[in-house]
């Protein structure tokens, strides 16, 4: 099986990205075991090395490639592009660590109270609530270490590296993912207008997806046109919301075996979803519209990326 993330075939691209990301995550897990050991790093490793899609780090790779990654990376000489890609592979998993920690905490009884994630018991069920909570905190610090250590291999200015770090942790914080989770919990029992629900999920789900795209662009070199970074952000924001709408459709139509998690949890918590507000058909249509909008933003900026186009389609047609 081909594993180069430069392969334009989406299956091969996803497989290659996952292989590289999982290798980095496994290595950091081994370091934690050697340094610390015990249940907390074991719970973090359990959370990180499940059967996730690795979509967010894949978007880092794809955006990097779309902007001709290699300029200013790997020395720009023979083999520089591939060396640059390996360097990106060292820090892109930080995005997955942030995402995985958010799932660990979202699944806790005080949050969404889920028992199943990625086809197996959630972390607090496999271990216990206290261990899962601490593992999530450990993963926040781990994400920072993965990012800082991985960026050391990139031939970028300190300002560019700082921009990458700020992009990730702004998306993860109160203005992004965490703030979106707060809004999501506060909305239980209320029927939200569609624009308000979209705002919740632009932050809870979309912020980290958009940041992944921008981070890949920032890593591609010092002279990336601002218009290209803007296009990547617009693309990421559109597919981020499309991803959540597709999740709502799957939650309403899928089974536990298909999804790897318990369907219908939002309905059980009296949460508004795009399906409860729009219906399955209209929700699907809106996800497809957003995916098309994302691709349009790239084309308007002159960015040609078969992988990013294919990922936009995959996000709204995936089976789980």
d(CA 182, CA 175): 10
Pick the closest to residue 1 from 52, 63, 14 (CA basis): 14
- Indicate whether 1 belongs to any domain: no
- Indicate whether 157 belongs to any domain: yes
* CATH at residue 145: 1.10.600.10
Q: How far, in whole angstroms, is CA 191 from its chain's centroid? A: 27
Q: pLDDT-derived band of residue 52, with 50, 70 and 90 as boundaries?
A: confident
pTM: 0.91
pLDDT one-digit tens code per residue, 172-184: 999 999 999 999 9
Q: pLDDT-derived band of residue 82, with 50, 70 and 90 as boundaries?
A: low
How many domains, the chain? 1
| DSSP code at position 206 | I
- Indicate whether 3 belongs to any domain: no
Pick the closest to residue 289 from 252, 242, 235 (CA basis): 242
At 2 the three-state DSSP class reads coil
Quickly list DSSP for 177-244: HHHHHHHHHHTTT----HHHHHHHHIIIIIHHHHHHHHHHHHHT-TT--HHHHHHHHHHHHHHHHHHH
Give me the torsion for CA of 264, 270, 272, 273, rounded to 10°: 0
Mean pLDDT, range 118-138, rounded to an integer: 93
| DSSP code at position 74 | G
Range of the domain at 155: 8-72+81-317
- Indicate whether 231 belongs to any domain: yes
């Amino acid at each position: 099986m081909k594993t180069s993330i430069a392969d334009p075939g989406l299956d091969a691209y996803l497989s290659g990205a996952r292989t590289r990301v999982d290798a980095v995550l496994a290595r950091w897990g081994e370091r934690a075991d050697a340094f610390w050991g015990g249940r907390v790093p074991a719970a973090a490793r359990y959370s990180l090395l499940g059967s996730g899609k690795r979509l967010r780090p894949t978007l880092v790779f794809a955006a990097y490639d779309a902007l001709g990654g290699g300029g200013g990376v790997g020395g720009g000489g023979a083999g520089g592009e591939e060396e640059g890609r390996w360097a990106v592979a060292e820090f892109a998993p930080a995005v997955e660590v942030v995402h995985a920690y958010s799932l660990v905490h979202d699944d806790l009884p005080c949050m969404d109270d889920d028992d199943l994630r990625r086809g197996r018991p959630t972390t607090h069920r496999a271990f216990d609530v206290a261990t899962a909570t601490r593992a999530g905190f450990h993963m926040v610090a781990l994400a920072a270490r993965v990012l800082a250590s991985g960026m050391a291999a990139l031939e970028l200015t300190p300002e560019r590296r700082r921009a990458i770090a700020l992009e990730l942790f702004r998306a993860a914080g109160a203005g992004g993912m965490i703030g979106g989770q707060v809004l999501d919990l506060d909305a239980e029992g209320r029927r939200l207008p569609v624009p308000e629900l979209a705002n919740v999920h632009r932050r809870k789900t979309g912020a980290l997806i958009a940041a992944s795209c921008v981070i890949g662009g920032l890593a591609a070199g010092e002279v990336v046109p601002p218009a290209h970074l803007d296009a990547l952000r617009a693309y990421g924001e559109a597919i981020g919301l499309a991803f959540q709408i597709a999740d709502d459709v799957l939650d309403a139509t899928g089974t536990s075996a298909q999804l790897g998690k318990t369907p219908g949890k939002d309905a059980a918590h009296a949460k508004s979803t795009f399906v409860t507000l729009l219906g399955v058909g209209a929700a699907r249509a809106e996800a497809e519209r957003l995916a098309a909008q994302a691709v349009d933003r790239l084309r308007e900026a002159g960015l040609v990326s078969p992988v990013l186009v294919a990922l936009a389609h995959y996000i709204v047609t995936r089976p789980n």
